[in-house]
Homo-oligomer: A and B are copies of this chain.
Amino acid sequence: MAHIEVKEGVPGIRSLFQFSPETGKPLCELAEVLLRGPSPLSSAERELIAAYVSNRNDCMFCMNSHAAAARFLFDERKQVVDELLKDQTADSLSPKMRALLWIAAKVQGSGKYVTPNDIENARKAGANDTDIHDTVLIAASFSMFNRYVDGLASFTPANEEDYLEMGKRMGQKGYHI
């Protein structure tokens, strides 16, 4: 049961958006622009970073829902999502994505863990300033979303199947309150 009185059965962060629509609005807008707005990274790649950070934070709701969105968007390449979440790396990802995921993992621990060498490696693999910016902000924002969902113990559906429809909706329609 959630730590505060939210509507029964509404999963994860949606129940918190209903409790506090004033903060839900900018949080949805942030997710929409960050995961689906203009970026050199595809939405599939950005959902993958979100799922990866949520996995490292052990946030089941965010991990399952964003992994489902990433699987939907990667479509025929969807096995890369499970490969990454299982092994924490994925040979079928580009060197650029692997270097960016390394930075995302650093940010998940602390922003201070990112070194000039990490940035240099990402640049050598083809990342530009916007790739690096977007990766750091996705990792930082999921360090927030994960803590918001788990810090209030919001309802987390238990079965992976529960997230299939959610992932499809997120991948198609995105984030709106």
Contacts and interface: CB of A to CB of B under 8 A. Distances in A.
B133 A140 contact: no
A79 interface: no
A20 B33 CA distance: 11
Q: How large is the interface on A (under 10, 10 to 19, 20 to 34, 35 or more residues)?
A: 35 or more
A29 B25 contact: yes
Contacts of A26: 26-27, 29-30, 33
A145 B22 CA distance: 19
A100 B127 CA distance: 41
A106 B151 contact: yes
A5 interface: yes
Interface string A1-29: 00111000000000010011011011101
Number of copies: 2
A136 B147 contact: yes
A143 interface: yes
B136 A140 contact: no
B129 A139 contact: no
A20 B129 CA distance: 11
A1 to B, nearest CB: 9
Nearest to A22: B33
B147 A116 contact: no
A34 B25 CA distance: 11
15 contacts: A5-B129, A19-B129, A22-B37, A26-B29, A26-B33, A111-B146, A111-B148, A114-B151, A133-B152, A136-B147, A139-B147, A139-B151, A140-B146, A140-B147, A140-B151
Top-4 shortest CB links A-B:
A111-B150, A111-B151, A144-B144, A140-B147
